[in-house]
Amino acid sequence: MMIIRPLMASDADALLNLAYKAGVGFTSLPADPNHIAGKITASLSAFNSEVDFTTEQSYVFVMEDTHTNTVVGICGIESSIGLSSPWYSYRIGTLVHSSRELKVHNSFPTLYLSNDQTACAEVCTLFLDPDYRHSKNGQLLSKSRFLFLAQFAHRFEAKIIAEMRGVSDENGQSPFWDGLGAHFFDMPFADADHLTGLGKKEFIAQLMPRHPLYINLLPKAARDVIGEVHGNTLPARKMLEDEGFRYQGYVDIFDAGPTLETQVNDIRAVRESKNYLVKIEDHIPIGTVPYLISNTLLDGYRCTMVYIKVPESGPLCISSELASNLHVTALDTVRLVPLFSQHTSA
């Protein structure tokens, strides 16, 4: 069984292994032991702290294969971003140049360096071991966060974003970086990407131009990837859009990957999830619809996917094995939601 649980101190080596598999472009999990140690410390602190919107709280979860006790995936939620250090993105806007005398009226798409998404929550750090990209494991890993958001919405800002990995080639080279960033930073994309992943973002403010940048002046290869995602990220983008996230014209300043956003309460899985009392039985009929199911604990959070028949009223009957993996007993509460919207196919 695949179980989603909070990150633990003992997961350091497993996270480093996942970071090497993720490669260049996955800025939230660089293959750096010190950074991983810091991520573990921050996550443990978040789960054991009171709500505090004056600072970021980072909730990190892993997917564990209970048959092998192996960590095979990671995902996270930030309670708020841009508080301890500025959060940068490009906002795509428009500049109009007009001359009545010459009867000329032209509009030009532009990039504005902005901090507009400061104090938003963020779903982040999503990566699944390639060997486990089957059996709806990716949907479980990503959407498990939404049941946590539904249960603990008071710990997060009302607006939430998701940065999508932008286009880069098999060598980790970004066309957008080559066309723009490289002229101001004088370093390879992989180096700038690595520094950002380590939280060293001061150089962005120091080196990036503050005035609007005309998109038409960029090379075609750079223009073509603005707002586009890496091929491996297409399923993640579709998944988030099916849940209600939308692209609103903000892109990453390094690879121009799109940022998707919505309100926490508008996420489909948050809005449709319900709580049920638990009843444990030995013989449970198997349903035809996959559901996300979680307990309602904070630092003991557990979530998995199950095919189950849901009653119109009364308690939810689950097996003793499932109850054990969710760390619940009879008359405890679980949260449940269909894995997919009724308008979305698997």
Residue 258's nearest CA partner among 267, 248, 266, 268 is 248
Where do the domains of the chain lie? Answer: 2-88+115-268, 272-338
Q: Vertex 193, ends 192 and 197: CA angle to 5°?
A: 115
Q: What is the pLDDT of residues 293-314, one digit of tens each?
A: 999 999 999 999 999 999 888 8
Is 283 or 162 the better-scoring residue by pLDDT? 162
Amino acid found at 82: G
What is the model's pLDDT at position 103? 83
Candidate list 97, 183, 230, 283, residue with the active-site label: 230
Name the pLDDT band for 346 (thresholds 50, 70, 90): low
Q: Please report the pLDDT score of residue 299 as a whole number.
A: 92
Average pLDDT, the chain: 91
- Poorest-confidence range of 126-140, 142-156, 162-176, 296-310? 162-176
pLDDT band per the 50, 70, 90 thresholds, residue 326: very high
SS3 18: helix
From the CB of residue 290, how many other CB atoms can be counted at a distance below 10 Å? 18
Residue type, 250: Y
CB under 8 Å to 132, separation ≥6 — which residues?
A: 2, 63, 65, 72, 73
Asked if residue 25 lies in contact with residue 172, where contact means CB atoms within 8 angstroms, the answer is yes
The interaxial angle of helices 12-22 and 33-47, nearest 10 deg, is: 120
Measured between alpha carbons, how far is 73 from 64 in angstroms, rounded to an integer? 7
The region of weakest confidence among 119-128, 138-147, 191-200, 235-244 is 191-200
Which residues, listed in sequence order, are joined to residue 123 by a DSSP beta bridge?
A: 77
Q: How confident is the model at residue 284 (pLDDT cuts 50, 70, 90)?
A: confident
CA dist., res. 336 & res. 294, Å (int): 7
Average pLDDT over residues 59-70: 96
Confirm if 76 and 23 have CB atoms less than 8 A apart. no
Active site residue 105: no
| Domains 2-88+115-268 and 272-338 alike in fold | no
* Predicted local confidence at residue 295, as pLDDT: 98
99: pLDDT confidence band, cut at 50, 70 and 90? confident
Share of the chain above pLDDT 70, in %: 95
Spatial contact of 143 and 235, defined as CB atoms under 8 Å apart: no
With cut-offs at 50, 70 and 90, classify the pLDDT of residue 344: low
Q: What is the pLDDT of residue 24?
A: 62
Q: Give pLDDT tens digits for 6-32.
A: 999 999 999 999 998 887 656 678 888
pTM score: 0.91
Q: How large is the average pLDDT for residues 168-175?
A: 86
Residue 74: its H or E element: strand 70-78
Which of 78, 120, 92, 42 has its CA nearest to residue 250?
A: 92
Average pLDDT, integer, range 93-106: 86
Q: pLDDT tens-digit profile of 219-265? A: 999 999 999 999 988 989 999 999 999 999 999 998 999 999 999 99
Over pLDDT 90: what percentage of the chain?
A: 72
Q: 2 near 304, Cβ under 8 Å? A: yes
**Pairing between β-strand 303-307 and β-strand 290-295 as defined by DSSP bridges:** antiparallel
Residue range 2-88+115-268 forms a domain whose CATH class is: alpha beta
Residue 170 pLDDT level (bands cut at 50, 70, 90): confident
Q: Report the pLDDT value the prediction gives residue 345, as an integer from 0 to 100.
A: 52
φ and ψ of 307, to 5 deg:
-95, 115
How sure is the predictor about 52, in pLDDT bands with cuts at 50, 70 and 90? Answer: very high
Rounded-to-integer distance, Cα 303 and Cα 305, Å = 7
C-alpha of 337 from chain center: 19
What's the burial of 338, exposed, middle or buried (CB within 10 Å: 0-12/13-18/19+)?
A: middle
Question: How do residues 205-220 score in pLDDT, each as one tens digit?
Answer: 677 788 899 999 999 9
Given 2.40.40.20, 3.40.50.880, 1.20.200.10, 2.30.42.10, which CATH number is that of 272-338? 2.40.40.20
Give pLDDT, residue 198.
63
The structure tokens listed for 317 are: 């009957």
Average pLDDT over residues 41-53: 95
